[in-house]
Amino acid sequence: MMTSTDAVRVGTTSAPRAMDTPVALDVNDLRTHFTMPGGTVRAVDGVSYRLHRGRTLGIVGESGCGKSVTAQSILGIVPRPGKVVSGSMMLTRGDGSTLELAGLDPKGKVIRSVRGNEIAYIFQEPMSALSPIHTIGHQITEVIRLHTGANRDQARERAETVMRQVGLPRPDEVLGRYPHQLSGGMRQRAVIGIALACNPSILIADEPTTALDVTTEAVILDLVRSLQDTTGMAIQFITHNLGVIAEIADEVVVMYMGRQVERASVTDLFLRPQHPYTQALLRSMPRLGKRAQARLEAIEGMVPDPFSVPVGCAFHTRCRHYVPVRCDQPEYVEVAPGHWVRCSRAGEVA
Amino acid sequence: MLVASQWKLMFWRFRRHKLAMICTVVVIFFYVVALFAEVIAPLDPNKVSNLYRYAPPQPISFQDKDGGFSLRPFVLGMKSSRDTNTLRITYVPDPTKRFPVNFFVKGEKYKFWGIWESDVHLMGLAPDAPANTPFFLLGTDRLGRDMFSRIVYGARISLSIGLVGVLLSLVFGILLGGVSGYYGGWLDAVIQRIIEFIRSLPTIPVWMALGAAMPPKWPPEYVYFGITIILSLLGWTGLARVVRGRFLALREEDFVLAARLTNCSESRIIFRHMVPSFASHIIASITLAVPGMIMSETSLSFLGLGLRSPVISWGVLLQEAQNIQTVALFPWLLIPGAAVILIVLAFSFVGDGLRDAADPYGR
Amino acid sequence: MTTNTSAQTGTVPAGAVDGDLLVVRDLVKHFPIRKGFWSKIVGHVRAVDGVSFNVRQGETLGLVGESGCGKTTTSRLVMRAYQPTGGTIHFRDRTQGWLDIPTASATQVRGVRRNLQMIFQDPYSSLNPRMTLLDIIGEPLMVNGVAKGSELQDRVAELLRLVGLHPEYMARYPHAFSGGQRQRVGIARAIALEPQLVVCDEPVSALDVSIQAQTLNLLEDLQARLGLTYIFVAHDLSVVQHVSTRVAVMYVGRIVECAPTEDLFFTPKHPYTEALLSAVPTPDPTRRGSRIFLAGEVPDASNPPPGCHFHPRCRYAADICRTTVPPLTEIAPGHTVACHMSDQLSLTGVHS
């Protein structure tokens, strides 16, 4: 754990791990649609994955691919007019019982007891998760007392423990501060602290480091990783940054236009990508340390309008391997153990 | 892909706002009435009728003699009788006398907008009705003047004072708010302090002082302009704040910086880039400011500080209804108040609709 | 591009080498912090605090650093969007010769602005939503009296084609376009006057991953085609490495290191550069290696630590670093660094 005393630390992030631990959340064929006057946006259209205890699942995709709506669906906070139309989200609780999140009333008692308690979440902009008019201490003890029924002193004690856990030295001082008195990195630590206050079994992190500078990002990623080692929580890590995914995830889901196009272990995905979209994304990125690069291999065209997603394979309009008819109805197939791809030409293209 | 301009988009969004559309029709209706007051009013608003003081409204009826429906509207005549206890004259409809109502009838002569002479009225009794037949759709006041005609004429003053006042305060507001927001610095500080000072003044005493400062001998049109200027002197601050806020926000926009970096002149930046970006907001703010002006005029005149008889405005008309006893006995004197409420609500809803439509990244 | 054909009337600034297009010396910008009712100045944010660099004709100078390091302020000072507190910015204008931008007269600045343009970060706020593409891209041409009427339309059509958009889009408003397309419009506006130098302020950081590469390629194509020189301000080091000829690293208002791209990325000489490079997440899970984690926070620019601003977070800091500001010195050809310990350290760069 990081403290203020060691000015600089050279850390080592651990290698990717297999998804061999018990399942914490099983998402199966989730569909979340937004019905609007201009048509229906299938923001999430048949997404399946599992979160395992002590493991990190990365969800990667561009803006509008549905990665955030997936998280919102689990938490029951899909903004109107969005609605989970089908699929299941089976949560395994601490006592071994299971709970189906799909049919729950978004404002009901059950989901509220799950949200923030068993499933915690952190968002991109730490400021929006914090109330500007209350101290950090007030906000965190409130969460603890609400979910655990602890008294004031117990909650305070727990808050101090958590703040120390997220690497905020002198917790009593930080707890007395207002969010605007903290720097971006400290704020995101505080948000993580609040998320962890109730010992959640699942943490959903939606672009938690996107608003931060790289040096702060590295520290926060390391923090998340070490917190996972101590608490054994399952993490769903959503980002558009492939570098961050490679750094933190054990398994990765790639999304494009609401659909899952590829799912694989992080090593397989980065070393043996099978879907042309994943391949193209990896190829188009400028990479640190690649000497004397010529032109980047850009993906042609633009991200389609969510109201008119191309039929069949949604990526076919931008895919250079597209073959008419054959690519019209790609199946989601397992090309290698644990490596799923939605592409009719999987295995032939590289 | 959309190729519509900002104004078209705004209009489309506005059209979706049902209530605002209805209210737009109401507002337009009121202004048409004000514009054609001479034609629409059946009688001369200043004509005194000693026979019918405090006469109640005479409803237009479409019922024929047998109780069936007839396309020919008519009003019933009126019988007067003196109450033996209170000695008050009361009027009751006389079902035996029926006077058909005609449209576009010749009646009293008037000068339309003070220019064209005419005698055609929108409604009136058939020419064969005997002289002095009552035709008071909304009753009469204490001098027997026709309330309907007075309200119609009053609309002209009350509604135009709202518009002229807002236009004047718009000039002040855009000028001072624009200078304040665009140039900033000490000028901004001074203008903001002035605005705060004006806003901190209690309005009614200031009106009283300014109203009292107007020489009582002034002819009505001077008083009219005096009142508008008083109202806009106090009313520009809100608009100035809106304009300043928009300027401050837009000054930081990248596209304004981009324009500056391509050698656009200050005036081009202001009028081509900044003003169009908030013109819609200004229009919405104006629409929301008009009812305030109308209310101010009404309250001023109601308190006897603004316009006075013989000028007819809704405030002046409401002055008649200051006495609770009169109101209790002759409730139709409050009808100008209903007109004020209606137009103020209509303007507010139109303004709301415009404001929502003006937000380019709306709800 | 024409480099030496036009008249060069101004005097060549000190420190300018043949081929230099921009020479910045000791640039300082302090923003006052005002407090209280009378807006009393209670301090200064030293956003840019003594920055010097040269930009050569035809190159791309990358300006990197974390938020608040002063890179954006520096780029805007070059554009004369702000007046600097001190220092000089000499620009070799195509027609007017060498000019000091902060002290140039209004007429001279008007001339300079035709040759000095900017691409903005946010493709949404940088285009006026009330104007069509024709108005937006045509504005610099019209305002500067280059073209009007049907000629203007032809030029705009040509510019649209140049940035890969259909000329038929001319009559449309920006809201009809995606972020990547809007950024192309912004680029078309910037190159409309065929400027010598284009300041790119984070031009791809607001774009989707799959659109970034297209945009970077476009910028490179245009550079080759029009002989443009870029100052490329960005926080994404992989992007900067890809586009830049040379890179300057900024930290709390100062340049800490400036070198040709390969030297800077493979053999950094400043501990901050080392830490920055180490922190960049690489899209390769087999490289989950050691990271340098910087403790603490970027110091507040209104109250930076004495001596080397980086010393409280530096693992190599010695006593001298706490008291004396290290000067920017050239330790290898074209490689300058501001660190007292640079000759004693052997730092790790990126892996190739």
Q: Which residues contact B325 (CB under 8 A, 6 or more apart)?
A: none
Residue B194, both tokens: 């002035």
ipTM: 0.86
> What is the three-class DSSP state of B15?
helix
Given a cut of 90, is residue A112 above it in pLDDT? no
Residue C8: per-residue pLDDT:
44
A253 closest CA partner among A43, A77, A51: A51
What is the least distance, in Å, from the CA of C234 to any CA of chain B? 17
- Report pLDDT for A60: 94
| pLDDT of amino acid C231 | 96
Residue with tokens 């690069």: A293
- B273 and C CB contact within 8 Å: yes
Compare all CA atoms of chain B with the CA of C172 and give the residue at the minimum distance: B3
What is the predicted pLDDT for the residue at C204? 92
- H helix or E strand, kind and range, residue B77: strand B69-82
Cis amide leading into B310 (omega within 30): yes
Q: How many residues does chain A have?
A: 350
Local structure of residue B333 (DSSP, 8 states): G
In angstroms, what CA-CA distances link B278 with A325, B255, B282, C128?
Answer: 51, 14, 6, 12
B362 pLDDT above the threshold of 50: no
- The DSSP element (H or E) to which C61 belongs, if any, is strand C60-64
* Mean pLDDT value of segment B106-113: 80
Tokens read off for A22: 């018990």
Residues of chain C with pLDDT under 50: 1-8
Give partners of C (≥3 CB pairs < 8 A).
A, B
Digit-coded pLDDT (tens) for B202-238: 877 887 787 778 887 888 778 888 888 888 888 888 8
Query: What pLDDT, in 10s, does the model give residues B70-79?
Result: 777 777 777 7
Report whether C133 contacts C185 (CB < 8 A): yes
What DSSP string runs through C164-221? T--GGGGGS-GGGS-HHHHHHHHHHHHHTT--SEEEEESTTTTS-HHHHHHHHHHHHH
In the predicted structure, residue B195 carries a pLDDT above the cut 60 = yes
Cross-chain residue pair C172–B253, CB shorter than 8 Å = no
Q: Please tell me whether residue B104 adopts helix, strand or coil conformation.
A: strand
A297 and C216 within 8 Å at the Cβ level: the answer is: no
Q: Please give, rounded to a whole number of angstroms, the shortest distance from the CA of C303 to a CA of chain A.
A: 15
Answer with the residue of higher pLDDT: B55 or C249.
C249
- Predicted local confidence at residue C297, as pLDDT: 78
Using CA atoms, how far apart are residues A87 and A104, in angstroms rounded to an integer?
A: 13
Categorize the per-residue pLDDT at A2 as very low, low, confident or very high, splitting at 50, 70 and 90: very low
Q: Any chain C CB within 8 A of the CB of A97? A: no
Compute how many other C-beta atoms are within 10 angstroms of the C-beta atom of residue A164: 16
Which of B56, B298, B356 has its CA nearest to residue B154?
B298
Query: Quick one: chain C helix, strand, coil %, rounded to 5?
Result: 35, 25, 40
Report strand pairing: A39-52 vs A82-92: unpaired
Mean pLDDT value across residues A182-203: 86
B8-32: average pLDDT: 86
Instruction: Summarize the confidence of residues B9-29 as an average pLDDT.
Output: 86
Specify the pairing of strand C116-119 against strand C60-64: unpaired
Q: What confidence score (pLDDT) does residue B5 get?
A: 66
Work out the minimum CA distance from C90 to partner chain A, whole angstroms: 31
Q: At residue B267, does pLDDT exceed 90?
A: no
Share of chain B above pLDDT 70, in %: 95
Say yes or no for a CB contact (<8 Å) between A186 and C297. Answer: yes
Helix, strand or coil, per DSSP, at residue A82: strand
- Identify the pLDDT of residue A4: 35
Q: Of A147-151, A246-250, A283-287, B181-185, which one has max mean pLDDT?
A: A246-250
The Cα B43–Cα B6 span in angstroms is 46
On the question of a cis peptide bond just before residue C123, with omega within 30 degrees of 0, the verdict is no
Within 8 A of A12 by CB-CB distance, chain C residues are: 289-291
Contact between chains at B257 and C81 (C-beta distance less than 8 A): yes
Full DSSP string of A161-213: HHHHHTT-SSHHHHHTS-GGGS-HHHHHHHHHHHHHTT--SEEEEESTTTTS-
CB contact under 8 A, B261 and C173: no
Q: Cβ of A246 and C282 within 8 Å?
A: yes
Architecture of the CATH domain B6-35+152-358:
Orthogonal Bundle (1.10)
Residue with tokens 């203007």: C152
Kindly report, residue by residue over A28-60, the tens digit of the pLDDT: 999 999 988 778 889 999 999 999 999 999 999
Looking at the complex, report in whole angstroms how far the Cα of residue C172 sits from the nearest Cα belonging to chain B.
5
Q: What element of type H or E holds B29? A: helix B18-35
Please indicate whether residue A13 or residue A215 has the higher confidence score (pLDDT). A215
Q: What is the token pair recorded at C84?
A: 């600097």
Buried b (16+ CB within 10 A) or exposed e, C319-348: eebeeeebebeeeeeebbbbbbbbeeeebe
Distance from CA of A92 to the nearest CA of C (A): 29
Q: What is the pLDDT of residue A256?
A: 93
d(CA C89, CA C53): 10
Q: Do C281 and A241 touch (CB under 8 A)?
A: yes
Cβ neighbours of residue A302 closer than 8 Å, sequence gap 6 or more: C178, C180, C181, C211
Topology of the domain covering C20-337? Rossmann fold (3.40.50)
pLDDT in tens, A120-131: 988 877 677 788
Question: What's the rounded mean pLDDT across residues B133-151?
Answer: 82
A294 Cα to chain C: minimum distance (Å) = 9
Q: Which pLDDT score, from 0 to 100, does residue A186 have?
A: 83
What lies within 8 Å, CB to CB, of B196 at 6+ separation is: none
Q: What pLDDT is attached to residue C227?
A: 93
In which band, very low, low, confident or very high, does the pLDDT at A13 lie, cut at 50, 70 and 90?
Answer: low
- C139 in contact with B, Cβ within 8 Å: yes
Half-sphere exposure of C282 (CA within 13 A, CB side): 21
Residue C335, chain B, CB below 8 Å: the answer is no
What local confidence, expressed as pLDDT, does residue A12 receive? 52
Exposure string of B90-115, with b = 16+ CB inside 10 Å and e = fewer, is ebeeeeebebebbeebebeebeeeee
Q: For all residues of chain A together, what is the average pLDDT?
A: 86
**What is the arithmetic mean of pLDDT over A294-317?**
83
* Domain assignments of chain A as residue spans, ordered by start: 23-118+200-350, 129-199
Per-residue burial over C145-157, b if 16 or more Cβ lie within 10 Å, else e, is: ebbeeeebbebbb
**C-beta atoms of C125 and B259 within 8 A:** no
Report B:186-225 residues touching C (Cβ under 8 A). 189
Residue spans per domain, chain B: 6-35+152-358, 38-145
Asked whether the beta carbons of residue A296 and residue C275 sit closer than 8 angstroms, the reply is no
Give contacts of A299 with chain C, Cβ < 8 Å: 210-211, 213-214
Q: Please report residues of C whose CB lies closer than 8 A to that of B258.
A: 118, 120, 126, 186, 189
For B102, the token pair is: 């005609």
- The domain A23-118+200-350 is placed in CATH, from the list 3.40.50.300, 3.40.640.10, 3.40.50.2300, 3.40.190.10, at 3.40.50.300
Q: Note the Cα B155 to chain centre separation in Å.
A: 6
| HSE (side-chain half, CA atoms, 13 Å) at B253 | 23
A44 interfacial to chain C (CB closer than 8 Å)? no
Mutate: best of C128, C132, C201, partner B, most B CBs <10 A: C128
Cα three-residue angle A163-A167-A170, rounded to 5 degrees: 60
The DSSP H or E segment spanning A238 is strand A234-239
The whole-angstrom separation of Cα B172 and Cα B200 is: 18
Q: What pLDDT shows up at residue A3? A: 34
Plot region of A226 (φ>0 → left; ψ -120 to 50 → alpha; else → beta): alpha
